[in-house]
Amino acid sequence: MNVSVNEVISTCLNLGMFVSINQRLDAEAITVIADEFGYDVQFITAEEETETETETPDREEDLKPRPPIVTIMGHVDHGKTSLLDYIRQTKVTASEAGGITQHIGAYSVTTKDGQKIAFLDTPGHEAFTAMRARGARITDIAIIVVAADDDVMPQTKEAINHAQIAGVPIVIAINKIDKPNANPDKIRESLSKINILVEEWGGKYQSQEISAKTGQGVDELLEKVLIEAELLNLRANPNRPASGTVVEASLDKGRGYVATVMVQNGTLRVGDIMLAGAHFGRVKAMFDSTGARVKEAGPSTPVQVLGLDGAPQAGERFQIMESDREARELATKRAQLLREQSLRTRKHITLDEIGRRLAIGNFKQLNIIVKGDVDGSVEALSDALLKLSTNEVQVAIIHRGVGQISESDVLLASASDAIIVGFQVRPSASARKLAENEQIEIRLYSIIYDAINDVKAAMEGMLAPEQEEVIVGNAEVRDIFRISKVGTVAGCMVTDGYIKRTNPIRLIREGIVVYTGKLASLKRMKDDVGEVKSGYECGMGIENFNDIKVGDVIESYELREVKRTL
């Protein structure tokens, strides 16, 4: 704004803000101060800042055709991974826990006529919306898989929406047509209801009937994908430092942090200095989707990269920097921003919140630490668990991270009364020992549904149970005996159920409740008894009540606790 620091500080003081020269201000304060000096403010993200610093447009003559990046999307169990398997001629689903994809896989495939296609396989389960949305962001073409023996499901619609918002061409694959109850026309009809008209029905979307099991129609599907790719005229410059997107990141015990990246422009080489989010490092080694070592990766090539100093968030942009120093500076700057962000967003309890909890009366909070094998899963699981929060029980994720469960996780859980949820990871031996000593619960899962259901069950256990009245017996008054020093005793016949000495009772006269209280005595013949069953006679005295008449009904009931559900 071209004004001195002192002027800014004095303006802040006038506005009631006490600031120092090297303090970072939040967005609201910046807007207010800039307004004081007559300026408008536009905010950009850290990524945009670095992109504007480093991205130089490519010259037209440097651009070369590149393979399309294709995302396979659709509902869980509709055959996305099976289709990819057939294309790659391998078996992946068998090794996935419960047969559902929980990571984004990235694969490179060469078709029969020698053309390359890069594939992203995104999970279909709704908890992975965030991961799936990222899949649609890096991609050029989306294949939406719908099972012919099922219907267009909510997640199918969601996948179509992601692809449309990303402005990506869509090819519909109608899978499982080899099944006897397959009905492809029903699928086309359902798609037409959500404004997706396929070419056979005069629309603009290409569709292909396939069977991922037998391979029927798969070659035609790939041809249609390549036709879409030709229309897009996809080009990139291989002769420049690489940039692209992190698809997934994990911590491998033997190899350190492993990041699966999709190169979108330029060529990535071993020895390059890579910056991804708040992490940087020199590329020590690269592996392609089959696990073979490669020296370099051109545009539209997915590779696994070793050498980063941490696990970047899935969906982060990566770029190659000139020097180590430059990369370190930017990474430190971003890490500081992230740290400040997390401190600012960490919710400290306010008076209003205390008031709200008191008003509810029995507010509970379930603290959870989430650790997973890859960042995408951690994020998806955390989001799914946070969504379980209700007015009475809130889920708070106090820490989430990638890698095995360590001692520090257990100590944090111990300090904050949290449970640890591990997704496809295990605790280290020392962490396991510490957890036993501290009595910290570590729950390990390999299927996201199970984790969500268990946390939900735990939350239901924290809800205060409701009390329910159950009528257990009725007795009719047949005769009245007045005994001095005792009061009125009713001679009764138990008409149904049983009367228990300890249960509360109600006296009902002509259908109206006259008195609620408890029994003073319950006798059979001359003996005191604890319970009288239906069909027997008994004598009853009611505590502090003597106005009993013949024909009255005495009702016995119990209060039982009923478990509440969310």
d(CA 16, CA 497): 73
Is the C-alpha dihedral spanning 445, 446, 448, 449 positive or negative? negative
Q: What is the pLDDT of residue 555?
A: 92
- Average pLDDT estimate for 31-47: 79
d(CA 445, CA 418): 17
Tokens of residue 67, six digits: 């393979």
> Which residue bears the tokens 């990566």?
318
The β-bridge partners of 563 are none
Going by their DSSP bridges, the two strands 243-252 and 317-321 should be labelled as antiparallel
Q: What is the pLDDT of residue 478?
A: 93
pLDDT per residue over 448-493, tens digit each?
888 888 888 887 777 767 778 889 999 999 999 888 888 889 999 9
> Which residue bears the tokens 């820490």?
399
d(CA 104, CA 134): 10
Q: What is the pLDDT of residue 353?
A: 63
d(CA 390, CA 367): 14
d(CA 556, CA 194): 58
Quote the mean pLDDT of the chain.
Answer: 81
Is the C-alpha dihedral spanning 81, 84, 86, 90 positive or negative? negative
Confidence of residue 351 (pLDDT cuts 50, 70, 90): low
Entry pTM: 0.61
Scored b (16 or more CB within 10 A) or e, 484-521 reads: eeebbbbbbbbeebbbbbebebbbeeeeeeebeeebeb
Residue 321, pLDDT > 90, answer no
pLDDT per residue over 405-420, tens digit each?
888 888 888 887 888 9
Instruction: Give SS3 for 550.
Output: coil
Residue 554, pLDDT > 90, answer yes
Q: What is the pLDDT of residue 362?
A: 67
**DSSP characters for 218-246?**
HHHHHHHHHHHHHHHT-EE-SSSB-EEEE
Confidence of residue 94 (pLDDT cuts 50, 70, 90): very low
Is the C-alpha dihedral spanning 534, 538, 539, 543 positive or negative? negative
d(CA 188, CA 143): 15
Q: What is the pLDDT of residue 390?
A: 80
pLDDT per residue over 235-293, tens digit each?
888 888 888 888 888 887 788 888 888 888 888 888 888 888 888 888 898 887 777 78
* Structural domains in the chain plus CATH codes: 5-60 (no CATH), 67-233 (3.40.50.300), 243-342 (2.40.30.10), 347-462 (3.40.50.10050), 466-562 (2.40.30.10)
Measured at the alpha carbon of residue 368, what is the angle toward residues 365 and 369, in degrees to the nearest 5?
155
Compare 85 and 145 and report the one with higher pLDDT.
145
Confidence of residue 360 (pLDDT cuts 50, 70, 90): low
Query: What share of the chain has pLDDT > 70, as a percent?
Result: 87
H-state helical runs in 286-362: 324-345, 351-360
Contacts (Cβ under 8 Å, ≥6 apart) of 23: none
Angle 5-14/27-36 helices, nearest 10 degrees? 100
Q: What is the pLDDT of residue 99?
A: 47
